[in-house]
Amino acid sequence: MRAVVQRVREASVSVEGETLGRIEHGLVVYLGVGRGDDESHAAYLAEKIAHLRIFEDDRANMNRSVLDVGGAALVVSQFTLYGDCRRGRRPSFDAALPPAEAEALYERFLAALAGHGVPVQAGRFRARMDVASINAGPVTILLDSARTF
C-alpha cells in the first residue's frame, strides 16, 4: 500500500456536489492499494499514520501525532499512486490491485486507523471525487508498506 499524507488545517471530499467527509485539523491520506498487499499492509500503514509525528510541539518541532493533537483523518482512495510513468507518456496501472480486492483492503485500512483512535472520514471508493484542503506547513509525507521509500 502507498499513502500520501498531508497535514491540513481543514479538508473535505465530495461527489457530485454531495459532501461525504469533512475534517478540521488533521491529515488527508491518499491511499493506493497494490498487487501483493494484504491485511498486514493495511495494519502497518494505519499504525504508522496514527503515530506519525508531523505536528508541531510547543518548540515548533514535529514531535506530535494526529492522536496527540486531537486531529482527524480524511482518507481518499487513489489507485493512481501506482501509476508507472517510466515508459511512454501514459501511466500504466498494472501494479494497482483490481478494484474488488482493493476496496476490501481500503475498508480494512479505514477500520484499522479508526481502531487506533483516529476519527476517520472517507471518500467513496471508485468515485470521481473533489477534494479540497488547506495544507498546513505544507507537510507532505510519502509512505509505502513495502518500505521501498
- Would you name the residues annotated as active-site residues? 78-80
- At position 4, the amino acid (one-letter code) is V
Q: Give the whole-angstrom CA distance, residue 118 versus residue 67.
A: 6
Q: Is 28 exposed, middle or buried (0-12, 13-18, 19+ CB in 10 A)?
A: buried
Other CB atoms within 10 Å distance of the CB of residue 36: 11
**Helix H or strand E encompassing 122:** strand 120-122
Cell of 5: 499524507
Q: Give the whole-angstrom CA distance, residue 18 versus residue 13.
A: 8
Per the rule left: phi > 0, alpha: psi between -120 and 50, beta: everything else, 147 is left
